[in-house]
Chain A
Amino acid sequence: MSSFGFGLITAAVLAIATVGFTMQFAVTNVLNLAYGSIMINSAFVAYYANVHGVTAWASLPFGVVTGAVASWALNRFVFTPFQRRNLAPITVVIVALGVDLIGTFGLQAIVGGSYVSYRQNTGHEYHILGMFLSGLQLIILAICAVVLVTIHWLLRYTRLGKAMRATSANPNLARNSGVKTQFIISTTWLISGALCGLAGVVFAMNNGVFEATSAQLYIVLLLAAMFLGGPGEPYGAMFGAMVIGLSTEVSAAYVNPQYKEVIAFVALLGMLTFRPYGIFGSEKTL
C-alpha cells in the first residue's frame, strides 16, 4: 500500500507535466523533447531563490515563471521560425533534441555536476488509508489537484479554453472563424510552460536531491503517459499519467525497482504499434 502512495505522488507530478506537454503538441504539432530540460532549469531557478533566503514553497513561483517564459520563448523564437520554413516535420523534433542538450548541459556547465536539495523539511508523516505520506507529499498532491481542476475549468468553461481546443482541432478553421490563433498559441505555451516549471520544481522536491541531468529520462514517462491517453488530449494525459505513475511505482514493489520504467516503455511501444492515437483519441488527430 505504501507503494501506492508513492505512485500517487509520481502520478500527480506526471499528470501536470504531461498535460503541459500534450497541450504544446496539440496547438503546434511538435513533440517538444526539450521539455525535461526546461523542467530542470525551472527547478534550479527555484533552488537558487530558495538558497537566497526564500522559503521553498515561496520559491515555487520562480520556477513556474521560468518554465512559462522559457517555453514561450522556445516556441516563439525557435519552433515557430523553423515551422515557417516548411521543412520536413521531423526537423523541428531534431531541433528540440538539440535544444534539450543545450538546456540540460548548459545548466550543468553553470551549476556543476553535484546534487543539491531544497532547504525545507518534509514535515510530519501522516498515515492515511494505509499509505504513509509526508506533509511535503500531501502539499504536492494538493497543488496538483488544484492545478488539474483549474486546467479542467479553463478548457471547459472559458472562452480561452474553447479557443485553445478549436486551435488544436483545426488551426486554419479556427483562424477563419475569428480565433486569434497566434495569440492562443502563445498563451498555450505560457500556460503549458508554467505547468512544466511547476512540474519541474515539485519533481525535484519529491526526489529530494537532484542535479542538472535528473530530468533527462523523464521524457520516457511523459511520452508513455501522453500516448496512452492520446497525443494532444489533456484529459487523456491525466488518465495516462495516472496509469503510468501508479503502475511504475506499484510494480516496483513487486519486481526489481530498477526495472520500473519498463512498464512505461512497454505501454509506449504497445500504443505506438496498435493505437497511436491513444485509448480515447480519434484517428483524425493524426
Chain B
Amino acid sequence: MSAYAFYLATIIIYAAVDAMACLALNVEFGFAGLSNFGFIIFQSAGAYAAAILSMPRAATSNGGFQQYVLGWSLPWPLPWIGAAIIGGLLALPFVFLVGKRLRGDFAAVGLLVSAVLLNVLAKDYVPFLNGAAGISIVPAPFQSIWDPQGLAYQFAYGGVAVVLTILVYFLLRRVTESPYGRSLRAMRDNDIVADSLGKNLRLNRTSMLVLGGALAGLSGAILVGFISLWAPGAWGYAETIVFFAAIIVGGAGNHKGAILGAILVPVGFEEATRYIPPLANPSLVPSLQWVAIGLLIVLFLWFRPDGILPERRRILSGAPIPPPPPSKSSEDIDAEVMVKIGKVDELNFRHLLRLEDVANDHRVILSTQGLTKSFNDVTVVSDVSIEIRQGRVTGLIGPNGAGKSTTLAMLAGTLPSSGGKIFYEGEDITSLPSYKRAQRGLVRTFQLASEFKKLTVLENLVSAIPNQSGDSFWGSLRGRRRWGAEDKANIERAEEILEGFGLSQYADAYAGGLSGGQRRLVEIMRALLAEPKVLLLDEPMAGVHPNLAHKIGDQLTRMAKDGMTILMVEHELALMDAFCDPVIVLAEGRVLAEGTMAELRKNSEVVEAYLVG
C-alpha cells in the first residue's frame, strides 16, 4: 500500500515539474513563435544552480569527492529563487539569435547546437559542475528538520510543486491574455509584419526567452531538490524534443494543452513504458521510447497539428456567436462588402485615426537622397532621390522590376538600404530600425497577404493600435485593471472602422480564412489603426473589386485632406489618375519622371518605359 503511495507522490512531483516546463516552453513556442530547441539547458541550469546554492562548499562536503563552484549552503527557498534567476539570465546570450534578421529555424538550430555543446562541456570539464558524474547528494529543503524519505514530506513537496505550477499557469495567462499576448501571437504568425507595425521583435522574444528560462530553471530546481542528483546524462539535447512532443500533442498556444501534454507524454507515456521488462537487448525499451516520441511528433503534426486542445479563438466583439465560415466565392463576398461599404463615407477618420492636431501644410515630410539597393552585384534601386509632401497622396508607378516595392521597403526599414539617406520629419532615419519608424508614424502595408492568420479580424486590427498600456511585459503583468478599460475602447474603435468597411460579421473570424479582397481590407484597416502620419501602401487595391477600390481611394484622399500623407505603389493607372498627385515614375531602379498623371502621359520617355518594360 505504502509503496503505491510513494509512487503516487513521485508521479505528482514529476507531473508538476513537467507541466511547469511545458507551460514555459509553450509560452515561448506556442505564443511567441520562438522555437527554443535548446530548452533543456534552461531547466538544467536551474537544477545545477539550486544544487550548488543549497550544498556546502565542495571541499568540505562528503570528503570532497565531488567538485563544483559556489556551495553557499543557502536555506530554502533561496536556491529555488536563484535557479529561476540563473535560468532567466541564461537567455541573455541568445539575444543575438532572436532579432529580425535571422530566420526562425536558423535561430532554432543555433539554440540546438548550444544545448549539444554545453552538454559536452559540462561532461568534460569537471571543476565547474563535477563533469559527467554530475552533482549528487543535493540536500532536500528542510531535510535537517523533516525526513525527506517520509511519505508526509513527499506529499508536502508534491503539494508545493503543484501550487507553484498553478501559480505559473495564472501568471502566464495574465501575460498571454493581454494586449501584449496579442502582440506575441501576431509576431508568431508573421514577424516581419508585426515589426512593421511597431513591435520590437528582439525585445519581445528576449523577454519570453527570459521568462520561459526562469520558469524552466524553477522546474529544474524543484526536480533536483527531490531526486537529489543532476548529471549531463539527464539533459541531452533530445530531452527538449520530448517537451516539444508534449506541447504538440497537448496543443501549442493553449496553456491547458501544455499541461495535458506534460501529463500525457513525459509523465504518462514514459512512466507507462518504464516497467516493461528488458526483452531482447537492454537498450530495446529505451530506444523504442525514443522512436515513439519521434512518431508522436510526426503523426500529430500530420493528423492533428493543433493538438488535442487547440488554441482557443479569442472572441472580442459583443456578438458571441462565431460567424459561419465564408463558403461563398470571394467575388460574391466582395460584392456583398461593397454594398455595405457605403458606410465608409460616414466614418470620421479625423477622430478615428487621431488626426485632429495634425498641421496640414504640405511640407516635405519624407525624402530620400541617392537611395540605392543592391543584392550582390545586381543593383535594384539606384540613386533615387524623391520628396514626399505632407497631406498629399503620392503615387509610385513603374514597370515590373522597376524597384517600387524595394524603395517602399527601404523607406519603411523592412530592407536595409545599400547606400543613400532617408529623412523623415527633418531627421535622418536611414539606420533607424523599422519598428521604431512605425512607432513614429511611418507605417507600411505589404504586397503579399500579411494578415496574422490565427488572430481574429478584430484582433488583427486592435494589435496595431500604438501606445497600449497593456502591450508590454510589465503592462500585461499589471492586469486587466490597468488596461481593461483602454482595451475596451480600442476594440470599439476597431469595430467602428470594421463596420465602416462592411466586415463586421467577420469580426471574430480568423483572418486567415478570409477571401483575398477581404484580407486586403483588413490590412488597410490595420495600417490605419497604427495611426500613421505617413502611410506606405504597396499595391493596396490588388484583388479588390474596382468599385470598392474607388471608394477606398476616395477615403484615402479625404484622409490626406485631414493631414495624413500617403505614398502608394499601384499598377492600376486609372486609380493613379483619380487619386494621386503627384505621381513618381520609376524604371530600372531610377526616377524617370514626376508630375500629375496628365503630364506623365505626355512624357514620351514614360510611355516608352511602360510599353517596353
Contact = CB atoms under 8 A, between A and B. Distances in A.
Interface of A: 31, 33, 78, 81-82, 85, 87-91, 93-95, 97-102, 104-106, 108-109, 112-113, 212, 217, 219-220, 223-224, 227, 231, 256, 258-259, 261-262, 265, 268-269, 272-273, 276, 282-284, 286
A220 B294 contact: no
Interface in B92-120: 96-97, 101-110, 112-114, 116-117, 120
B284 interface: yes
Interface string B470-487: 000000000000000000
Interface string B253-281: 00000000000000000000000000011
Interface stretch (B70-78, B83-91, B296-304): B296-304
B283 interface: yes
Contacts of A223: 109, 113
Contact of B301 (A31, A82, A113, A258): A82
A272 B106 contact: yes
Contacts of B612: none
B376 A101 contact: no
Contacts of A89: 103-105
Contacts of B110: 268-269, 272
A79 B503 CA distance: 37
Given A97-B241, A219-B113, A272-B110, 5 more contacts: A31-B105, A108-B290, A220-B116, A223-B109, A286-B103
A220 B113 CA distance: 6
B388 to A, nearest CB: 27
Contact of B283 (A88, A108, A272): A108
A211 B280 CA distance: 17
B291 A109 contact: yes
Contacts of A283: 375-376
A104 B241 CA distance: 14
Q: Which of A94, A106, A283 has the most CB of B within 10 A?
A: A94
A234 B119 CA distance: 30
Contacts of A268: 110, 113
Contact count band on B: 35 or more
A109 B107 contact: no
Contact of A87 (B37, B294, B305): B305
Nearest to B378: A284
A106 to B, nearest CB: 5
B167 interface: no
Given A101-B241, A106-B287, A284-B376, A259 B305 contact: no
Given A94-B301, A97-B241, A261 B295 contact: no
Contacts of B187: none
B514 interface: no
B238 interface: yes
Contact of A262 (B117, B290, B301): B117
B244 interface: yes
Q: Is the interface of A mostly helix, strand, loop or mixed?
A: helix
A161 to B, nearest CB: 20
Contacts of B289: 105
Contacts of B105: 31, 89-90, 93
B150 interface: no
A106 B103 contact: no
A268 B376 CA distance: 23
CB-based closest 4 A-B pairs: A101-B294, A98-B297, A105-B290, A113-B283
B492 interface: no
Contact of B113 (A81, A95, A105, A265): A265
B287 A105 contact: yes
Q: Which of B106, B108, B244, B296 has the most CB of A within 10 A?
A: B106
A262 B109 contact: no
A78 B295 CA distance: 12
B293 interface: yes
Nearest to A34: B294
B297 A95 contact: yes
A7 B156 CA distance: 56
A113 B241 contact: no
B35 interface: yes
Contacts of B287: 105-106, 108-109, 113, 212
A269 B241 contact: no
